[in-house]
Amino acid sequence: MFWFTLFQLLGLIALVTALIFYCRFKKLKFFPFIYQHIKHILIALAAIIVLITLICWKPLYHTTECFFRGKSMRAETKYSWYLGECQIKTRTGSYLPLNRSRGMPEGNENNGHNDLLY
């Protein structure tokens, strides 16, 4: 979720930066321009939010799925957007892939990990 929030914040910063450059290019005052075109700016902001949400749809879905898998197992899990996998926290504090963990229905039984679950 950190990445999604960061992308949304970067989208907002890009919109404000574009408005500032537009006002400087046209030699307009920034706040009166915002007040005058608030409806169009809010539509542009909503479009940016929807676009970023559509781009991040798959990782958001997998993050939610991983969260509920962890709740059902009563274990701490997280979804790694970088690796693209759900990870479970071991007793030592490290995170290992949930689907390749021993004792999981989808996992590999012969991968050599002995301390994956609590």
User: Mean pLDDT in each 10-residue stretch from start to end of the chain (118 residues)?
Assistant: 89 96 93 94 96 93 92 90 89 84 54 52
Helices 38-55 & 2-26 angle (0-180, nearest 10): 150
- The answer to whether 76 and 89 have CB atoms below 8 angstroms apart is yes
pLDDT of amino acid 99: 79
Q: Which amino acid is at 24?
A: R
| Single pTM value for the model | 0.68
Q: Tokens 């995170």 identify what position?
A: 95
